[in-house]
Amino acid sequence: MAIKVWDYLEEYEVEKVDIFEGIEKVFGSGKLILGNSVENFEKEFSHYCHCKYGIGVDNATHGIFLSIKALGIGNKDEVITVSNTAVPTVAAIVGAGATPKFVDIETDTYLMNINKVEAAITKNTKCILPVHLYGQCVDMTPILEIAKKNELFVIEDCAQCHGAEYKNKKAGSLSDMGVFSFYPTKPLGGYGDGGMIVTNNKKLEKKLRRLRFYGMEDKYYSEEHGYNARLDEIHAEILSRKLKRIGVYINKRNTLAKRYYHILKDTSLILPKTRKNNSHVYYIYACRHKNRDYIIEELKKFDIHVNISYPWPIHTMRGYKYLGYKEGDLPLTEGAAREIFSLPMYPMFKHKDQDKVCKALSEILGEKINL
């Protein structure tokens, strides 16, 4: 049987009674849009993130977009971020009318290199958007110091880091706003698209609620130009139920990560490193090897299918050529894109299947493993 990098079917079999109870609850409530399930989940998830407010949205792309809009950032303004991220991070910045400005990454964590940030600031810079990648946080203390010194906003892209902590503080609680994705593969994933913005700022919370619903508040009257970016009741109810199990999901991911490390630590694979002051939730298990493409093709012969996050840095993509970057501008980002790949990682992934992956890698690499 094929081994996939991610799968939800076994988890669904275990949880489907609870899921269908939630769906029936929503259908029987008489309210399908912005009802009690969304309201309750917003409170539960923001509390989990150590934040006062949560604003449910239809996806994290819109979450970042609305966050930028809520801060009044737009035409000719710059947002500092990384090219080693999912396209939605940059699509949201551009969609809001702003210009992304990229900095390179750290060599070992692949996170934003904080030492590159201050030099990227110009008179047009309005915001820093660190991406908490692969399951752990960027070094936020220096980011916040730089932002304060230069009067900049900070938005955390937390799409891959539900439950991750930095200095015992939850991802999303460290800045003006944090934006989460509930795409099915995420540490807290639903059965479709969904997202959440968390904040401790009441003024921003009120504005974000207007922006996600056509600029309206309590009646069908637009106070300002807004958008349709609401989280559905069904998704909110399912996510609320899954939130109660997030600690179990994260523990299982960490167990798998520890097993990978123990088994593979003496091979030529470069394994993930947890940054100091961080707790990692292992959204993916990102390895690195100079013969990455060969390894991936050989794994397919064992019916093992892995993933690359991300094979093309955004600054090299045709869709963003107009930004003026060229190959060689971000050498560490580009180098990582040629060598990184992620091994199977999800809570229901069986240890026996993990062992098969490791044994296959041992055979492909011609190296001993600790199994």
Angle between helices 60-70 and 202-211 (to 10 degrees): 120
Give me the sign of the Cα torsion angle 151, 152, 153, 158: negative
371 residues of the chain, pLDDT tens digit each: 899 999 999 999 999 999 999 999 999 999 999 999 999 999 999 999 999 999 999 999 999 999 999 999 999 999 999 999 999 999 999 999 999 999 999 999 999 999 999 999 999 999 999 999 999 999 999 999 999 999 999 999 999 999 999 999 999 999 999 999 999 999 999 999 999 999 999 999 999 999 999 999 988 999 999 999 999 999 999 999 999 999 999 999 999 999 999 999 999 999 999 999 999 999 999 999 999 999 999 999 999 999 999 999 999 999 999 999 999 999 999 999 999 999 999 999 999 999 999 999 999 999 999 99
Q: Which two tokens stand for residue 75?
A: 């035409």
278 half-sphere exposure, CB direction, 13 A CA radius? 24
Q: Tell me, what's the pLDDT at 165?
A: 98
**Rg for the chain, CA atoms, rounded:** 21
Q: What is the DSSP string of 76-92?
A: T-EEEEESSS-HHHHHH
Beta-carbon contacts of residue 335 (< 8 Å; ≥ 6 apart): none
**CATH 3.40.640.10 residue ranges for the chain:** 9-103+111-243
Which CATH number is 246-365 given? 3.90.1150.10
Q: Tell me, what's the pLDDT at 218?
A: 85
Beta-carbon contacts of residue 350 (< 8 Å; ≥ 6 apart): none
Q: Distances in Å between the alpha carbon of 86 and those of 13, 181, 297, 300, 369?
A: 30, 12, 23, 24, 32
Class in CATH terms, 9-103+111-243: alpha beta
Q: Tell me, what's the pLDDT at 92?
A: 98
pTM across the whole model: 0.97
Q: Tell me, what's the pLDDT at 4?
A: 97
Q: Tell me, what's the pLDDT at 18?
A: 98
| DSSP 8-state code for residue 116 | G
How many of the other CB atoms lie within 10 Å of CB of 113? 19
**CATH 3.90.1150.10 residue ranges for the chain:** 246-365
The C-alpha angle with vertex 252 and arms to 304 and 356, in degrees rounded to 5, equals 25
Left, alpha or beta for 150 (phi > 0: left; psi -120 to 50: alpha)?
alpha
